[in-house]
Amino acid sequence: MSKVLVTGGCGYIGSHTIVDLINNGFEVISIDNFSRSNPLILDGIKAITGKVVSNYNIDLCDLEATKKVFEDHTDIEGIIHFAAYKMVGESVEKPLLYYHNNLVSLTNLLQLIEEFRVQNLVFSSSCSVYGNATELPVTENTLTQKAESPYAHTKQMGEAIIENFAKCYPLKYMLLRYFNPAGAHESAQIGELPIDRPQNLVPYITKTATGELEQLSIFGNDYPTKDGTCIRDYIHVMDIGGAHTAALKRMQQDPDGDWANIYNLGAGVGRSVLEAVQTFEQVNNLQLNWTYADRRPGDVIAVYADNQKAVNDLNWQLNYSFEDIMKSAYQWELTLADKVLV
């Protein structure tokens, strides 16, 4: 059974990916310092899989502390690197926090990959590397534009650091560019845990539905789209997890392959904000308290993926629908009310 190190394993996408890895026979260890996540998620992973995942509560910016993980586990066959700060607005207010955390953690990891001769790396990247995409749907050959935020810039630089490192070290790697991950595992044992007030649409919707937040504002209804609201590519977080497992499997199956690749992880369908709200209301049989508001600075009008390269190269199967996203996100939100978050 292959051993995989997942950094940021207690985060939203990291935890869902760990569930999929375990369900596919991988042995998983995690590094997560809970700066942006909660240890409760480890209980959720155990409840779903029956497995206790060993998590090292250390900061990846601390090279010596991180090295201990590699000394304890000299049989790590692959690494999935999620650990990073990802709040666009916060990155604009605190750019150095983002450059330091997201880049020092990555270069430390690459240093240890070389020292301990790890062969496979999957990197958590983002559709935000495209900036204001010049074509739709976005393909992996779409030119990246100037990053709209320091967060997006750290993802662009992270990709370039890995590409240049792999020119002098025999690393197989995949850069996975997520579109808009949303939803939760159907058990409602794990899900998104926004730090403070949610920035993203779906958790804002679910917290409005439970009454934790008073009203959802739809930022802008005068865009040149079918209903005036922005278009995005919402993809179920379990499908994102499945893509990471598929990526590792492909590199294992084809160790001599040219695995220096970029993949868009989106559902391949553009949905408007209004459509998201209406779908949420329909599948959960409720009325949401929402209103139109001014546009949000920095929002792109429309972005959605051409995901065929990932589907074909990785044998990636998407198993969840837009309706599943809205249903599972709300089910998770409803269970949160009963959880005492440490």
Binding test (CB under 6 A) with ligand WQD, winner from 178, 259, 263, 322: 178
Query: Is 212 a residue that touches ligand WQD (CB under 6 A)?
Result: no
Residue tagged active-site, from 151, 223, 263, 320: 151
- Single out the segment in contact with ligand WQD by CB under 6 A; choices: 94-102, 103-111, 195-203, 321-329: 195-203
Identify which of residues 79 and 152 has a Cβ nearer to ligand WQD in the complex.
152
Question: Could you tell me the smallest distance in angstroms from the CB atom of residue 120 to ligand WQD?
Answer: 22
Between residue 251 and residue 290, which ones bind ligand WQD under the rule CB under 6 A?
273
Query: Is 206 a residue that touches ligand WQD (CB under 6 A)?
Result: no
Residues 6 or more apart from 279 whose CB is under 8 A from it?
A: 271, 322, 323, 326
My answer on whether omega of the bond before 203 falls inside 30° of 0, hence cis, is no
- Single out the segment in contact with ligand WQD by CB under 6 A; choices: 157-165, 167-175, 212-220, 240-248: 212-220
User: Residue 145: CA atoms inside 13 Å, Cβ hemisphere, count?
Assistant: 12
Identify which of residues 180 and 328 has a Cβ nearer to ligand WQD in the complex.
180
Q: How far is CA 237 from CA 128, 173, 184, 322, in A?
A: 17, 21, 6, 11
- 151 catalytic, yes or no? yes
Query: Is 199 a residue that touches ligand WQD (CB under 6 A)?
Result: yes
Look at the block and give the residue holding tokens 């790590």.
Answer: 76
Binding test (CB under 6 A) with ligand WQD, winner from 200, 225, 278, 321: 200
Query: Is 292 a residue that touches ligand WQD (CB under 6 A)?
Result: no
CA dist., res. 30 & res. 80, Å (int)? 10
Nearest alpha carbon to residue 198 among 213, 181, 180, 183: 213
User: CB 299: neighbour CB atoms within 10 A?
Assistant: 16
Between residue 116 and residue 145, which ones bind ligand WQD under the rule CB under 6 A?
126, 128
Distance of CA 278 to the CA centre of its chain: 24
User: CB 17: neighbour CB atoms within 10 A?
Assistant: 29
Question: Could you tell me the smallest distance in angstroms from the CB atom of residue 335 to ligand WQD?
Answer: 21
Nearest alpha carbon to residue 169 among 247, 104, 111: 111
What is the number of residues in the chain?
342
Binding test (CB under 6 A) with ligand WQD, winner from 219, 268, 278, 311: 219
Identify which of residues 184 and 273 has a Cβ nearer to ligand WQD in the complex.
273
Could you give the residue numbers annotated as active site?
A: 151
Contact residues toward ligand WQD (CB under 6 A) are 86, 88, 126, 128, 178, 180, 199-201, 204, 216-219, 230, 232, 273, 296, 299
